[in-house]
Every structure is written in structure tokens, then in C-alpha cells.
Amino acid sequence: MNRNRALWIVAIVGLALGVTVYATNIYETTDGPMPIADNSGALGDCQTINVPDSIVITDVEVEITAAHSWVSDLTFEVTSPASTSLTIINRSGRNGTGAGNNVDLVDTTPVRYSDAAPSGLSAETLGDNCTGAAIIDGSAGCEDNYTPDPDATDTPVAGTGTDFGDFDGENAQGVWTLCVADSAGGDTGTLTSWRLGINKPIPVELLSFSID
């Protein structure tokens, strides 16, 4: 089946069922890898993505590629052009005290965060069930996708926001920022890159198609 025919089928089905058809636009940072400052306790290492398209947000997901030898040292927070911030993960495995999960992040396995993560697992549990080499690798028990968990009670960076629904209704156009904090000493890492997925509705009545 060619692309035009596939789009035609999507359009007809969408119109017939009275549903909105969505597409996900993917944007990736052009910033180079940066070291994550060890034991800074502050969201000071950041990369940006400039979204050129005017899109009213209906859903957002974030994929982070990073390397670090102790995942629970880390806090990741994303901020939209409208200055709405969401802490995606905040020192997984900790309840305000303790060392948390000592699993490694490796930059060969990006970790995706979305409100509808296939694993259904909270970012707070990242690394809970990893076995063997204890590396986030996408295997069962060591999944590479999670729902965000701001964990507002953790320290020294208090999580902010609820989930990616916080961005709904905003215009995606402009500069998005992802910042990372390392809040314990002795382990180091690198923020390699990140990607931003933004859902937008497709005006199905405008889709072109051909029958052949």
C-alpha cells in the first residue's frame, strides 16, 4: 500500500468515527554532549531544543540519552517556552533519604518518558528490578520507558509539576530546556542528547490521497 492510499484510509476512518487523528512531531537538541557536574545539587547543566512549528500541545514525551554510574544521583527537569516546568525523574528509589538505585545509565540506551509509557512504571522505580550487570538496557525488569514522577519531597531539588499534561494547551513554538542535577558525590556522567515528541492534530479533511 502506498503512502497516499494509507493517508486516505486514515482520513476516511477518522471522519467516519468522529475521532481526531494525531501525528507526533519529533525534535532533537543540536547541543553537544556535556558533563554532568558531580554533586552540584542544582539544575545547572542544560540542553535546549528550538521548536520552529506553531503547535497547540495535546501530548508531550521526552527521550533522554545520558550516561551515569549511579542513576539515583540524578534529577531531570524539562521547561517549555511558556516557562512551565516538569520534573521528569527525581533521584529514583529514594524516599527523601538513602542512596537510592545504583543502576547505571548508558548512552547506548535512551530512556523515554511519557504519560502513557508502555511499561506503566513510574520514573521513581527506574532501576528497581534490574539484575545482572545493573544497566538500564530495555530488558524485562530494566525497562527503558517510564511515566514521569516529580517526587516533590526529595532533596536538594524539590520536584515540580504533575505529568506531561501540564503542557497541554500551550503553544510548543520556541525554546524548550532540559536540565539535570547530580545530588551526590563519587559518581559522574554525561548528558549526551535529548529528543522532544509533541502531538498535533491532523486536519484529516485536508489530507491528499489517490486511488490506484
Side chain identity, residue 168: D
pLDDT digits (tens, 9 = 90+) for 124-159: 999 887 865 678 888 877 899 999 999 999 999 999
What are the phi and psi torsion angles at 73 (to 5°)?
A: -70, -20
What confidence tier does 23 reach under pLDDT thresholds 50, 70, 90?
Answer: confident
pLDDT digits (tens, 9 = 90+) for 79-108: 999 999 999 999 998 877 778 888 899 999
Tally of CA atoms within 13 A in the half-sphere of 17 that contains its CB: 10
Question: How many Cβ atoms sit within 10 Å of the Cβ of residue 148?
Answer: 30
What are the phi and psi torsion angles at 82 (to 5°)?
A: -85, 10
Segment 168-181 shows an average pLDDT of: 97
Question: How many Cβ atoms sit within 10 Å of the Cβ of residue 185?
Answer: 12
pLDDT: which is higher, 2 or 189: 189
Segment 11-20 shows an average pLDDT of: 49
Segment 44-66 shows an average pLDDT of: 96
165 sits in the region (left: phi over 0; alpha: psi -120 to 50; else beta) called alpha
Total residue count of the chain as it appears in this document: 212
Side chain identity, residue 62: V
What are the phi and psi torsion angles at 34 (to 5°)?
A: -135, 145
